[in-house]
Amino acid sequence: MLMKERRGSFAPIDFTPDINEKCLRQVEFYFSEYNLPYDKFLRSIAEKNDGWVPITTIATFNRMKRYRPIDKVVEVLKTSTILEVSNDGENIKRLKPLVLDRKDKQEQSSRTLAILNFPHDSDKNIISNENQENQNASELTDNAKLYQEDIENFIKTLSPKNTINQVRLKRDRKRNFNGTVLVEFKHLKNYQNFLTLYDSDIDISSFGNDNGSITINTASCERETLSYKGNKLNIMSKKQYDAQREATKSKNFSGSGQRSRSFTGSRKNLPSKKKLLAAASRAASKSSKTRTIDHLNVASDFNDFFSTTVSSVSSSNISSTSSSPTSHYNNLLTLANENAISSDEDSR
């Protein structure tokens, strides 16, 4: 079957053995246990299509745009031992579905570090987390690619070759890089060896032979302070990082997940004090000009307005008493109504 013509292709390149290897390794990483569980976009497509993902979608990812023509990419992907290409050459999926239980995720988290205080950038297109690619990946600037690759290369130079599974740049809701990088090591021993070299908030005295790793003399262990382009970096475990994020969230949100509010705070649907006083002033002004039945209508209109306001406050489980401001207001309003009626009778 002839391949369909695909849009968005860049200049073709020569697919040398080295290029073939890099292309295949990149796509296999997308579908690996190190990326797929954390890639919401890619995982959502796979779940909707029985594991299949269009190769055209993969080709739009930041690091795949260099590999053209796409027909050559398809040929390379057919050599994979863990991925399967559809008969028409349009889709790809894992040969064996990925299943990670809670224990696997905990083990993965136990060998993951969080490195904080990298320089931020205000341009939302400067940093692209390869684990969160989406349809707008083609809009990423060249600076984004260079900066991300620079950080990843910096991290990988800190540890021996083939000891790091992945480097993930974290972003906020506006897709700006938030200065935090998660580094997942291949083995727990690699994770612990890294911490013996660089200063961190992690207690390394617990590392020992009981888990088959390493023995450390903490008294004589001098660790280097890690920095990047003049910024001193902070290192903590994934567990510490998650706990810090939860603590930050709890400052603005209650335990139920709803934003906490106090009675004295502002209400979205409650008119301001200024508006209430203005409405009262208008009602009083109309009342002083005439003592006819129109006064009763003004009082009634304002009563409806004030009752609506009070009901919004009452919904917050505020108990009312006979001495509440509402009852005082109602007493005054009754007297005003009686005076208005009496004045109307006198004018007949």
148-165 tens-digit pLDDT: 889 989 998 999 988 998
What CATH number has the domain bearing residue 44?
1.10.10.10
Token readout for 116 is 């904080």
User: Same domain for 22 and 82?
Assistant: yes
User: Same domain for 329 and 302?
Assistant: yes
Measured CA to CA, the distance from residue 231 to residue 179 in angstroms comes to 11
Contact by Cβ (8 Å): 222, 216:
no
Could you say which of 37, 63, 94 is where a domain stops?
A: 94
pLDDT of residue 337: 58
Token readout for 52 is 């299949």
Looking only at the bridges linking them, the beta strands covering 91-94 and 164-171 are: unpaired
pLDDT of residue 223: 83
Beta-bridged to residue 183, according to DSSP, are: 113, 167
* pLDDT at residue 30 greater than cutoff 90: yes
- Residue 4 domain-assigned (yes or no): no
pLDDT of residue 164: 92
- Residue 288 domain-assigned (yes or no): yes
User: Same domain for 79 and 148?
Assistant: no
Mean pLDDT of 1-16: 63
Closest CA to 195 of 106, 119, 111, 105: 111
Contact by Cβ (8 Å): 77, 85:
yes
Give the confidence band of 194 by pLDDT, cuts at 50, 70, 90.
Answer: very high
- Residue 214 domain-assigned (yes or no): yes
- Residue 135 domain-assigned (yes or no): yes
User: Same domain for 72 and 191?
Assistant: no
Split into its structural domains, the chain has a count of 3
Mean pLDDT of 283-302: 58
What CATH number has the domain bearing residue 219?
3.30.70.330
Output 305 or 212, whichever has higher pLDDT: 305
User: Same domain for 169 and 287?
Assistant: no
Measured CA to CA, the distance from residue 152 to residue 32 in angstroms comes to 18
Share of the chain above pLDDT 90, in %: 34
- Residue 83 domain-assigned (yes or no): yes
User: Same domain for 179 and 42?
Assistant: no
Give the confidence band of 327 by pLDDT, cuts at 50, 70, 90.
Answer: low
Q: Which amino acid is present at 273? A: K
Q: Which domain holds residue 64?
A: 17-94
**DSSP-assigned states of every residue in 26-38:** HHHHHTSTTTGGG
- Residue 1 domain-assigned (yes or no): no
User: Same domain for 109 and 229?
Assistant: yes
User: Same domain for 111 and 213?
Assistant: yes
Element (H, E) at 116: strand 112-116
Mean pLDDT of the chain: 74
Q: Which residue has the tokens 């931020």?
A: 120
User: Same domain for 183 and 237?
Assistant: yes
User: Same domain for 188 and 209?
Assistant: yes
User: Same domain for 160 and 248?
Assistant: yes
- Residue 126 domain-assigned (yes or no): yes
* pLDDT at residue 82 greater than cutoff 60: yes
CB atoms within 10 A of CB 136: 12
Closest CA to 68 of 4, 15, 27: 15
User: Same domain for 149 and 236?
Assistant: yes
* pLDDT at residue 334 greater than cutoff 70: no
- Residue 259 domain-assigned (yes or no): no
